[in-house]
Amino acid sequence: MSKIEIRNVYKIFGDSPSKVLPMVQDGATKEEVLEKTGHTVGLDNVSLSIEEGETFVCMGLSGSGKSTLIRHINRLIDPTSGEVLVEGTNVMDLDQKNLIEFRRHKMSMVFQRFGLFPHKTVIENVGYGLEVQGKTPEERNKIAMEKIESVGLNGFEHQYPNQLSGGMQQRVGLARALATNTNVMLMDEAFSALDPLIRSDMQKQLIDLQSELKKTIVFITHDLDESLRLGDHIGILNGGRLVQVGTPVEIIMNPADDYVKAFVKDVNRAKVLKAKVIMSSTNEANGIDKSNLIKVNEDQFIEEFLPQVVCTNANCEVVDKEGNTKGYITNKELQKSLSKS
């Protein structure tokens, strides 16, 4: 079983969601439901699986349902219909006591607006979840300092949030989420309030931490570049409906509909596609001109070797880390893979 299973979840906001549910199940759109009933469709029959240790990015425009979805996982929101399972446990079956324990020990959350206590220092903010878990002051300060160092805030542990920049405040929020040592991290537009350079730095920080910690992360964003950089898989929502789930390459190369096409049309494919994705096998490359070849690693992104190919008008020999030939990329194939048409 997957780490998180979301099964046929509907969420309708309004006075009588259960009465409106059959209308949504019969295929009415979000706009039709709002016009005829005054109810808002948050999620419309959403099902997906999130594997242990992966970063799953859920994205869409404002109002698409992505923040509603993530709040079902820790049951800040109850579905109108459907199931949410975490490690095989249906969170809808938890009573209040077990739900509190589930939130304390199974998952943590990083918010867009940091959510720090202004009257607590950095180390007190980071250790707050451990305090709730009942850890001793000595134990929580030890763990909090380890996480503060892991996000590059060593020396700022006794500062207050208003003494920190926005990026530093978000690092505190990330450290706090890491400190409770939960298996699942929910990140709702966690970097959206940051300036572009700080945002890029935080993305790199998360990638580096994830390569070491292997948490199961559900990350919400409206930014496609961010989702392509962070996500092992991406789910795209539109009007409460899940319209496509796939790897970054699958989303870019095979958009499911016009909505997804509009998202990906301006993406720099050279930053997303690796050599092994577009190469032809050695069996398919009998007619290739091998007199002018550039060797590239199969895991290199196109942007890393594109300038050299353009300057020399060469073809590429794709090799693995041992130097064995895996395939070839012709100059023509390379240009075709970068075409948006």
Hunting for tokens 């690796």 — which residue is that?
274
- CATH 3.40.50.300 residue ranges of the chain are 4-106+182-267
User: Could you report the average pLDDT of every consecutive run of 10 residues in the chain (341 residues)?
Assistant: 93 95 94 94 96 94 91 94 94 92 85 80 90 88 90 89 86 85 87 79 84 90 88 93 93 90 84 84 68 86 86 87 88 79 54
Tokens matching residue 168: 């530093």
pLDDT at 65: 92
**Apex CA 193: angle with CA 187 and CA 194, to 5°?**
100
* CATH 3.40.50.880 at 4-106+182-267, yes or no: no
pLDDT at 186: 92
d(CA 305, CA 295) in angstroms, rounded, equals 9
Q: Judge whether 256 and 243 are in contact, CB under 8 Å.
A: yes
d(CA 259, CA 282) in angstroms, rounded, equals 36
Continuous segment of H or E residues that includes residue 33: helix 30-37
Q: What are the start-end ranges of the E strands in 191-238?
A: 216-221, 233-238
Question: Rounded to a whole number, what is the largest CA-CA distance in the chain?
Answer: 72
Tell me the C-alpha to C-alpha distance, in Å, between residue 194 and each of 14, 64, 144, 191, 198: 33, 22, 23, 6, 6
Class of the CATH-defined domain 271-338: alpha beta
Question: Which residue type does 310 have?
Answer: V
pLDDT at 340: 61
d(CA 327, CA 27) in angstroms, rounded, equals 46
